[in-house]
Amino acid sequence: MDTPAETNAPPARLPQSDGLSASAEQAVRIPAIHMRIANAFRIFDHNNNDQVDAREVGTIVRALGCCPSESDLREILRQCEETEGTGAIKYSRFESVMLPILLDRRFPSVSEDVILHAFRVLDEEGKGCFEPDKLKQILMTEGEPFTEEEAEEMMAAALDGEKKVVYYEDHAGAMCLEDALYKLASS
């Protein structure tokens, strides 16, 4: 299997089932999931050496559509780490940990409708957007709180550069697992 540094292809489109046999679907499904893992990992492999900083693992796992708790994330990280504890995670270890997680559909997110409903409940004025400070405060105090760094990353990705607000309807879909990936994993 190509590693992230060797693969220059664009992110894989996940194929739809066309009545294939179970073994044929397996043959299509597994490589597509491998490609998805490689693409997500490659984004954070800044040195193109098939390694990422261990602190990036949570972001990569979430980019794959998984929503583990912090405790679950620590366990994923523990499984990915080498015994010498270099602070770097190798692609081969990460892929071997993530493939069964994706195949077993562990750590699914809630649906886009649930996310939108939650945002609308918090949007007391019904504006369809949040001021960055208010959203950051919500992210860092409600549910499983974000760290300061996680909240800043979210703001950097979600903030409308012109209006300086976060339009939550634009981002709700990106916050939930892609159904196509889990359909591949479960077929």
Percent of the chain with pLDDT over 90: 32
Read off the pLDDT of each residue in 112-141 and give the average, rounded to a whole number.
Answer: 89
Percent of the chain with pLDDT over 70: 76
Read off the pLDDT of each residue in 39-46 and give the average, rounded to a whole number.
Answer: 92
If one compares 158 and 78, the residue with the highest pLDDT of the two is 78
By the 8 A CB rule, do 91 and 50 touch? yes
What's the pLDDT at 45? 93
Burial call 5-34: b when 16+ CB within 10 Å, e when fewer? bebeeeeeebeeeeeeeeeebeebbbebbb
